[in-house]
Structure 1
């Protein structure tokens, strides 16, 4: 991914606030809105002149790349630190080019995601290729598999959500657990398995909720229910504990643990079979792509997910998944968590898969309206 110095590049950013469809309870508090910054980098060397007094368009301004910096408590820097970092990147881009802009946001992962994504979208648009092709995928990819997420509600809620997932054609469901007594969660997963049948892959996400004895009991039950992956059963710091849970019939995936320890430490401890890659938390789609290639080489499974992002970052995550060979079902069906968005969603969900946009760049249009 080339980022040669170009004096005609200019970075802009502006804040946004997107309401959620319903409040989301997390370990770091209740989320009611997703607040962040839309980033735009314009290459003025490609600017044209609109005729007959027409209003400026992206084509008349120059080639444009879009990015999104959406901080999330517990995963990234604060909103204030993100804005400060974007201000530094704006100045650095003017003086030193793309490399300087990325260096200016190197320690603020959400801000770096926004800048890196805008640069990647810009270059993919210059080359007139979809973003996933720019990220290194040599062949055309039309669809990537995605999982349905079944929340941590009651057993009846889980059953209803499982029915909806099956009717929508999802071949993979992930059940959220950990906020209820263990036996209740096991029963919820059992009832979901009864609904989805044996042909649907079933995963479980505990979000660091359990002790080792609880996790061992859960794995024993989940193995009988043909659960494929148990995500983050123990607190992120418990690498050795996660290592001890492996090999008992259910693969172990780390999510929060990736952020706390990094891939090197996870591999050294042999603590996971799969890793969850969140581009916003990793600091950019370029970094996430490199990590995905690396973990594939060392026989770990990469699973791409969003951090409840707006349409720009969410669509970019679909492109990232499309750039990974033989990617498993990923956590990308998250648009319905938002009550509003930055613009039209170019990604269609059909029969448990995301249809990958084939337009140049990200393919997210109408996000920078006056």
Structure 2
């Protein structure tokens, strides 16, 4: 690589976002630009999120090493980077490749990873879900109704932060409010023990929820396996990114769905490779962001667009940010995120963000 540039950014959230690792008020990350000898440029984004990726400090240090190596003309093994930094570098390289061929990133990805076989159509949009937070009952119902009025037909409800009885009332109230035609999912972020999870799964099956995401702690694979076959799908998220957990080859015995975060997996390539493997195992991949900025969010939409028939994905996260790096290249309309068709990630939208 030549002409490598690394520039930091910081973006405020509209309101604090609670996570298992504490409250998030801003998203800090880095843009990584690369330029080939032929003058073709590509852009990537590293927005680390502790618990899923390396820390901000580690990400910054390694990307600075990368830029220094490029400036000195030295080789640098990007495979040694943490997942967020690796995501940025791999994405920038892919952006270069797609731009050089003057094709959209999702077309380049689909060709490289063989995900559109049998004449699958090139999508203009991908379906996305709305996320409803863990507020009080009235707040939850209101948020669900607003999302449905806004065109979303798939909602993911955060649960597990309250006693089960309180969540039960919230879940029943949302189903009553939105009716039977809206697809509902629940996300517990590993908050329940096995007994509570069993009660929850039976309730969710009764309310016709599609799946429950991470009902048990990340390491409890056997517990997740025991929840399957009770009328509601089981999705794994944190389990995939917990370094202490080795994902079994027979993943179908433990989950119906896996949540794939390109930022935490090291880029679009590893994400699509894993998605292909999951589909061979009859496990559905769902692509989500880690509340990323515009570059990575657009790239995640391209990843989803390279997967024919993908389920609604967790990509409608741009409105969580009070500010962004650029105008939203993947706006959400009626529960669908538009897929950029310019060369690379989004044509030349991001070129002005980096100083070469």
TM-score greater than 0.5 by the shorter chain: yes
Gapped regions of structure 1 (runs ≥ 5):
1-5, 47-61
Equivalents in 1 of 2:61, 2:134: separation in Å? Answer: 36
After superposition, the Cα gap between the structure-2 partners of 1:21 and 1:294, relative to the gap in structure 1 and judged at 3 Å, is: same
Cα deviation, residue 228, structure 1: 0.7
Does residue 135 in structure 1 map to residue 109 in structure 2?
Answer: yes
SS of equivalent to 1:332: coil
Residue 311 (structure 1) aligned with residue 281 (structure 2): no
* 1:293 aligns to 2:276 (yes or no): yes
Q: Secondary structure at the match of 2:131?
A: strand
Does residue 245 in structure 1 map to residue 227 in structure 2? yes
Matched positions, count: 343
The counterpart of 1:235, out of the listed 201, 214, 217, is: 217
1:266-305 Cα offsets, whole Å, 9 max, x none, are 6358211110000111111111111111111111100000
Say yes or no: does 1:32 pair with 2:6: no
Distance 2:216 2:66 in 1: 37
Q: Is 2:60 aligned against 1:83? A: yes
- Following the alignment from structure 2 to structure 1, what is the Cα–Cα distance between the partners of residues 212 and 14? 27
Matches within 5 A, 1:110-189: 110-136=84-110, 138=116, 139-189=121-171
Q: Secondary structure at the match of 1:165?
A: helix
Q: What secondary structure is seen at the aligned counterpart in 2 of 1:208?
A: coil
Describe how 1:1-370 pairs up with structure 2 within 5 A: 9-43=2-36, 45-46=37-38, 62-93=39-70, 95=73, 100-105=76-81, 108-136=82-110, 138=116, 139-260=121-242, 264-265=247-248, 267=250, 270-363=253-346, 365-366=349-350, 368=353
| 1:66, distance to aligned residue in structure 2 (A) | 0.6
Across the aligned residues of Structure 1 and Structure 2, the Cα RMSD in angstroms comes to 1.8
Taking CA–CA contacts closer than 8 Å with sequence separation of 6 or more, which of the two structures ends up with the larger relative contact order?
2
TM-score by length of 1: 0.89
Q: How far apart, in 2, do the equivalents of 1:203 and 1:16 lie? A: 33
Unmatched tracts of structure 2, length 5 or more: none
